[in-house]
Structure 1
Amino acid sequence: MDHLKAITIKFLASLALLYMILGMLYGMSFGNVFLITLTLGVVSYLIGDLLILPRTNNSIATAADFGLSLFVIWIMSMALTTGGNLFMMSLIAAVGTTIFEYFFHKLMATEVIGEEETQAHPSPRNMQYQTEASEELNELDDELDENDQDIEKE
């Protein structure tokens, strides 16, 4: 599946989801929901799906998409509409979008990004670290012990 199909699926699913939440529950016009969905879809696809997801895992990318969704929906709803509690409306819409994004990231990881690109950017948790030891520290301890013995003799 190429990027055009993926962004089309994301746009249509987000439009349906956001229209149910913003349009039907909160009475926002379809044009405003469409603009919010278009902006959110492009921004979250570029940042969350193509930048963050290949370098991290699904949970981190989903958390980043939640913050991004909340910010974009809240700012755009303040600019496009007037109403009561826009933050709560944006929070509910962001939670709904985040649930969709979790499953969309699984689709992205298998169909669009593929195994080659995810292997090119290994997760930092997969790296193995090893400590280094040297004898210099032991020699310093021996010198300190000799100095202590010299002080005791005096």
Structure 2
Amino acid sequence: MVHVKALAIKGIMTIIVLYLVLGLGFNFTFGDTLLMTIVLGVVSYLLGDLYVLPKWNNMIATVADFGLAFLVVWLMGMPLSMGLSPGMLALAALFAAIVMAIGEYFFHFYMMSKELGKPRFIERTE
């Protein structure tokens, strides 16, 4: 149940950020931002929040989330961007990744306070 709550918080944060940056700033549809939110949320939760954050620290996990957000938005934006030039798409991905990284930095404090991502949650001990 704790993971569901964490995913819900992350999902709400992600959809708000992506819609504000991509939807309002670069004319992506709500459906496109929702699709990116689902992909980015699941991938960054598993990799950044449950794998990188417990092994290293908040700053490294935030940088990893920045890179991951940039790649997901940029790569998924290519077929979804509705005629944006490659430079504008990269700029959209950069803006989204910066804002996402700021949100992730604070989300990681929540993850650490709930001790999510500790080895007991991600590895089977015997």
Common fold: TM-score over 0.5: yes
Which consecutive unaligned segments of at least 5 residues does structure 2 have?
120-126
**How many correspondences in the alignment?**
116
Question: Which residue does the alignment assign to 2:92?
Answer: 89
Residue 107 of structure 1: aligned partner? 110
Moved over 3 A (4+): none
Superposition deviation, residue 112 in structure 1: 4.1
Asked if the contact 1:22–1:28 (Cα under 8 Å) also holds between the matched residues in 2, the reply is yes
Pairs within 5 Å for 1:3-152: 3-81=3-81, 82-84=83-85, 85-113=88-116, 117=118
State the distance in 2 between where 1:19 and 1:10 align. Answer: 14
Flag the structure with more relative contact order, 1 or 2, with Cα contacts below 8 A and sequence separation at least 6. Answer: 2
- Contact 1:3–1:112, Cα closer than 8 Å, also in 2: no
Q: Distance in 1 between matches of 2:68 and 2:46?
A: 11
TM-score, with structure 1 as normaliser: 0.72
Inter-partner Cα distance in structure 1 for 2:84 and 2:106: 32
Which of the pair has more CA radius of gyration? 1
For residues 66-116 of structure 1, the C-alpha deviation after alignment (integer angstroms, 9 at most, x for no partner) is 1111001100000222312100110000000000000000100111428xx
RMSD of equivalent CA atoms: 1.4
User: Letter of the aligned partner of 1:12 in structure 2?
Assistant: I
